[in-house]
Amino acid sequence: MQNGFSAFHVLREGVRLHGRVGGKGAPLLLLHGHPQTLAIWHRVAPLLAERFTLVMMDLRGYGDSDRPAADAAHLAYSKREMARDAMAVMRSHGFERFQVLAHDRGARVAHRLAMDHPHAVERLMLLDIAPTLAMYEQTSDAFARAYWHWFFLIQPPPLPEALIESDPARYVRSVMGSRHAGLRPFAPDALAEYERCAAIAGTARGICEDYRASATIDLEHDRADIAAGLKLGQPLRVLWGEHGAVGRCFDVLSLWRERAEGVSGAALACGHYIPEEASDALAEEALQFFV
């Protein structure tokens, strides 16, 4: 997938990061979510490549990027560490300042990236998330039922890993197919790519550690920002699916306005997987928002 975009690999502190780059114009970093890969952008990327140089990367633990070992504090999969990966990837292409479009887990990385590296991130668009700390603190019965994997994946090893590894394709299809539109939005080639990468050794560990970090060390980092009175200063656009759990369970705009200075946003006529369910609408939003 992603024809017309060149593959690259960047080595950062022993972790090999995979991605694809192409297009022309201002640099725009694209970050995917769980349990997916950079293939989520296969419909959106061609619509943006005429105006932007797109850098699409697989997060550590996902896709064809490395799956580093776990540690007791989950630091290796903290969003701070993943944000450093993103900085290394962009600098490897000569970009010190750039914009960010990110979905789901990638949007949580983008939030930390913009907080920790405000000099680098010019503006950002986050897809179908509310701030991580708020989502944990305001968990309801409805949210827990819709986002059951948030609470399954953070259980101590090795049980979640073992269950995922017993049938990785079933895990991918169960998580993605349980949302608003089922598996219909996903192109067969994209779904096959998600299943291929889920079966790579270490993926289950990487996925679980990503979520364990979000429920522990990432919350510490978020609480430290709040205690210090820090907010995102960049223009922030948030989009969510009108048929998704995030918009139903949380006041997305209000929560982001607690964490950022300049926020706008809207619901799109889709569910959680905006890049694949509403690619044309997302591309239009991106072309209007990014400069």
User: What positions carry a catalytic annotation?
Assistant: 104, 272
Closest-CA residue to 176 (of 194, 153, 193) = 194
Phi, psi values for residue 258, rounded to 5°? -80, -20
